[in-house]
Amino acid sequence: MKKKVQKVKKNLIQSIKEINFKKILHDCIHFIKYNRVFLSYVILSLISCKLLRLFTIEDGINIKAFLFDLAFILILGSFGYFFKPKNQFKYWLIILGFFTIINTINGMYYMFFTSFASFSLLETFAQTFTVSDSVVAKLSYKTFVYIILLLIFIIHREVLKKKKYYYTVEKVEKRKKILPGVLITGAVILFISIGMLNKTDLSRLRKQWNREYIVERYGILVYQENDLVQTIKTKLDATFGKDKAAEEFINYFNENTRPKSNNEYTNKLEGYNVIVIHLESMMDFLIGLEINGQEVTPNLNKLTKESMYFDNFYSQVSVGTSSDAEFTLNTSLLPAQSGTVAVSYYNRNYVSLEKLLNEKKYYTFSMHGNKATMWNRQNLHNSLGYERFYSQDDYDIDEVIGLGLSDKSFFRQSEEKLLEISNMVNDSDKYNNYFGTILMLSNHTPFEDPYYLEGENAFDVRYHTGRYDEEGNEIIYDYLLDENMETLGRYIRSAHYADEALGEYMEYVKTHDEYNKTVFVMYGDHAAQIGKSEFGYYHNYNFETGEYYTKDDENYVDYDYYSNEVFKKVPLIIYTKDNSIKPDKISYPMGMIDVLPTIGNMIGIYNKYALGNDIFEVKDDNVVVFPNSNFLTKDVYYYATSDNYKILNPDAQLSADYVEEKKDYAELIIKESNDLILYNLIEYTKE
């Protein structure tokens, strides 16, 4: 055995000696010298793809993504050697231009939707034109940096032309030998990259549920190629995969159908009118927040003390944002994984809150001060079962804030319509009650200052220190006018205005008898579209100095991904004038998907296809599943992209398989919800 080892060692040493390192070095220098255009294409392409990951998911150094990007850049670039040197530039310019388009679109899309663009979302992308002000407000140098790299490539080529680079290259270049070498190198790197993948990586690529995970592990080029394959596959599956999905769907609901609730709130509000108020972009941290002793949301603060208030409630939206929230709340299903329900799957048969109440002789309607085409609501609301949709065309647009009619004017004009509806229902033999959704708008990004209508800034977001300088002037810090938190400052002013509008309406409610037997359900549809870094500055502001705590300061808050996700809570409030629902604070972890089962139990309806839970049945055992495969319980927040989790409850005693069980549950819920939507399974399995 020893002799064999010595022989192998001797042969290895001999092989190394035979390698002509001088020749290898010479060939490398020669390749660099006479392939400068190709190398600049490779380097600029890598930088472009890396910057996208850095500017979106804040990815540092990920060797897997780097190698995948490099492999595809080399493989695609190798075919440039089919052409003569003077024409190679045109080919590489086209490829780099293609990468530039991919990265620019994904960069812009991520800024607005916090997700990466998809071929299945092309219809959704058109929605950005209906909120063009929001898009423009989010643009920055990061949006255009990819185009700058393309310009650098063009300039570099012009410099080489002046130095007669192509004349020299044509004499020495052997294109037919270079092409297979570059192609093989790219293929080898690709195989090495594939060999580094684990089961989770492969599973996530196949499912395409967590786009951030795929971009972080595989890079944007593999993501986009895989997205095209998955989009085509989804279209084919929708045609040919129904039977298998239907069988799994029937088995799931036979085994897992949530039983009817039986708790202290069962049928408590049966026979009540229902008004749902959609609080645009309202986050829970605003409740109780004061700046300079002035409450940001005094009316919501008051309502939380007069109502059942859920302070651990999370939105579960995807790229459909507000429309996803409406869909999830009304159906107890998660958003679609490919495209959006509002645009791509609105014409499916869903069991919804509206349809169930229609069966109980409720008149159902919705009201919104924006265009009916925004998120295709004119079709989505009809599909959900609303009998009437009051949109921008039904209102006098006398005050405009941001995207449409101001909330204050919207509520004032809606009061008249609600009175008409109430009288119509009372005088009708067809209806016993009514159910309506009121969608607020003014607190929508880009959070336009609403107080210009009154000629002044009615809510000061500067910080008044209470200290004075030598001349007797109070020392005031910019605080939320600071460049690091300017968007957050606008958001807080905007939210204060929305709270004022809501407060005016609720005062009207309390003084009018037609609302005596009405339950109000108020919910924040999703977190404000504000970057993690800005919230990080907010948590690290030093009020003593007007500066920010640094990492080495004992007061510094490490505001990481988990902190930001947990911070995205939104309010849920259930209010009745007659105190049928007693004021209380409920802190069970709860998601938008749980609203229908919880409210449904109170008003006497049941949806057997609901994937959420009545929170008063599951209580602290609830699992909030997010569309990107993340999930939250009372004890942990699981981050699917890193396949890791953070313990939220320091006293938690978790079993060895606790997280794995919840991961399996989350994936099952996502799959069943998505299959139901994609294949229209409620309609397909009727018989």
pLDDT digits (tens, 9 = 90+) for 636-670: 999 998 889 999 999 999 998 999 999 999 999 99
| Alpha helix stretches (DSSP H) within 332-391 | 341-344, 353-358, 377-384
Mean pLDDT of the region 228-256: 80
Q: Are 554 and 292 in contact (CB under 8 A)?
A: no
Mean pLDDT of the region 185-195: 90
Query: What pLDDT does 89 receive?
Result: 87
The pair phi, psi for residue 553, each rounded to 5°, is -90, 140
Tokens of 550: 């640094």
**What is the C-alpha separation between 623 and 630, in angstroms, rounded?**
10
Residue with more model confidence, 673 or 207: 673
For the chain, give the mean pLDDT. 87
Tokens of 547: 């500066």
How far, rounded to the nearest angstrom, does the alpha carbon of residue 41 sit from its chain's CA centroid?
A: 33
Query: What pLDDT does 454 receive?
Result: 56
Q: Which of 31-35, 446-450, 453-457, 542-546 has the lowest mean pLDDT?
A: 453-457
Domain ranges of the chain: 19-239, 260-625
Give 340's pLDDT tier (boundaries 50, 70, 90): confident
Mean pLDDT of the region 40-65: 87
Query: What pLDDT does 188 receive?
Result: 92
Using the predicted structure, report yes or no on whether residue 411 has a pLDDT greater than 60. yes
Looking up tokens 């020669």 gives: 30
Query: What pLDDT does 132 receive?
Result: 47
Omega before residue 335 within 30° of 0, cis: no
Residue with more model confidence, 395 or 125: 395
**What is the C-alpha separation between 150 and 93, in angstroms, rounded?**
8
Helix (H, G, I), strand (E, B) or coil at 293: coil
The pair phi, psi for residue 460, each rounded to 5°, is -85, 120
Mean pLDDT of the region 206-220: 79
The pair phi, psi for residue 285, each rounded to 5°, is -65, -20
Query: What pLDDT does 363 receive?
Result: 98
Omega before residue 446 within 30° of 0, cis: yes
Residue 394 is given by DSSP the state G
**What is the C-alpha separation between 538 and 461, in angstroms, rounded?**
12
Cα–Cα distances in angstroms (integers) from residue 70 to residues 99, 214, 289, 578, 598, in the given order: 13, 16, 49, 66, 51
pLDDT digits (tens, 9 = 90+) for 53-90: 888 887 767 888 899 999 999 999 999 888 877 788 89
DSSP string, 574-602: EEETT-SS--EEE-S-EEGGGHHHHHHHH
Mean pLDDT of the region 590-616: 97
The pair phi, psi for residue 250, each rounded to 5°, is -65, -45
Q: Which of 69-83, 444-458, 620-634 has the lowest mean pLDDT?
A: 444-458
Mean pLDDT of the region 622-642: 95
Nearest to 529 by CA among 339, 317, 296: 317
Using the predicted structure, report yes or no on whether residue 202 has a pLDDT greater than 90. no
| Alpha helix stretches (DSSP H) within 454-577 | 486-510, 532-539, 561-567
> Which superfamily is assigned to 260-625 in CATH?
Alkaline Phosphatase, subunit A (3.40.720.10)
Tokens of 22: 């001088």
pTM of the model: 0.79
Using the predicted structure, report yes or no on whether residue 15 has a pLDDT greater than 60. no
Cα–Cα distances in angstroms (integers) from residue 431 to residues 273, 386, 387, 426, 512, in the given order: 11, 14, 12, 8, 21
